[in-house]
Structure 1
């Protein structure tokens, strides 16, 4: 928890860059109450306004690519975007991978996901459209 809070503070201060690639199903379908879903979508839109934050949506049309890839976080600790560690959350905690072959595999997966995702502007437009629709549905 402390690591996440520290990372979030660094991002908010502009001291770190952050890129999120999220599957369209995550933003399109509420896994929580409608109110919380709208708050989450609004928070994503606000975060994406930062110069050091990039948000991309992996559309349903990416098909199998989205289904084959489980969630992971990759980290680079300097200005070079080379993957230096990968974190995978699971039922028992977080596993950290640092072996060169693991980093290469996840670096390739990230590149594939990023190239299949919508551009940042199109991603935010999609999220805004979904947010607008959720507001209309409750009116």
Structure 2
């Protein structure tokens, strides 16, 4: 499903290169913004890859940083052009978490912790429909149908024969016990989880109530990793109105350690499958 040119990743790499040039020049983002008569927040958004960057922006920044090598300027200009192309998700219209989708599309592995829901990449269509209807009660049926379509399209990474996504999910028992939709939907969802967990690149672990307090109680999160060494790992924190992306090494390391604790406290994959199968049988009754 991943294309040769991922606009989200291109923006991210371009932003990293522009930040490197600024720091090499010994300038602050505030000083650059003052030179270009723009806001400091614009410079920050360009550097963190959260904002589309034009070739004019690249040209102006290269001028401020006194980049004289035309090959570097041309390369950055080409990256800016590619970053403005549309990814597959744009065909669905305005998607609130499109930045995350772009990163997920290019990631080689994702480690996900969910406290209340089955992870989106492992949801059945009916479960996804029921989740979105409950979480977005004011959304139109058309909007929710679009989001379900995006979710189903994202799941193609799991079954991609050429480069399947390495997906590791730690799921709180709450997600299995909360009846989303109805008991039939929950039974089929859990059976689907058991089936997916047999795939070599998918690992599912349940964190049972009996564990008590644990690091994941601060909230759900995902850790995304990439094959290209130029792309640093990212921690994704989903919010109701805005999302947060953490890329500093210390922040990523902190969440990586948290995840290792969650994995250690959760049931192992074999016990998890038996646990989910037993809960599915409860729903069947």
Q: Which TM bucket (shorter chain)?
A: 0.7 to 0.9
RMSD: 2.4
Q: Aligned residue for 2:214?
A: 65
Q: Is the 8 A contact 2:184 2:284 kept in 1?
A: no
1:12 corresponds to: 159
1:67 Cα deviation (Å)? 6.1
Q: Which runs of 5+ in 1 are unaligned?
A: none
1:47-81 Cα offsets, whole Å, 9 max, x none, are: 1121110000011122110662311011111399x
Matched, 1:22 2:171: yes
Equivalenced residue count is 134
TM-score, structure 2 as length reference: 0.43
- Bigger CA radius of gyration: 2
Looking at structure 1, the residues matched to 172 and 241 of structure 2 have their Cα atoms a distance apart, in angstroms, of 24
Q: Relative to total residues, which structure has the larger strand share, 1 or 2? A: 1
Distance in 1 of aligned mates of 2:256 and 2:215: 16
TM-aligned CA deviation for residue 33 of structure 1: 1.8
2:242 & 2:281 partners in 1: Cα distance? Answer: 36
Residues 58-109 of structure 1, C-alpha deviations (whole Å, 9 max, x = no match):
11122110662311011111399xx811111110132211111210110011
2: CA distance, partners of 1:79 / 1:50 = 25
Give the C-alpha shift of residue 7 in structure 1.
4.8
Structure 1 pair 88–127 and aligned structure 2 pair: CA distance change class (3 A):
same
Partner Cα distance (2:199, 2:228) in 1? 18
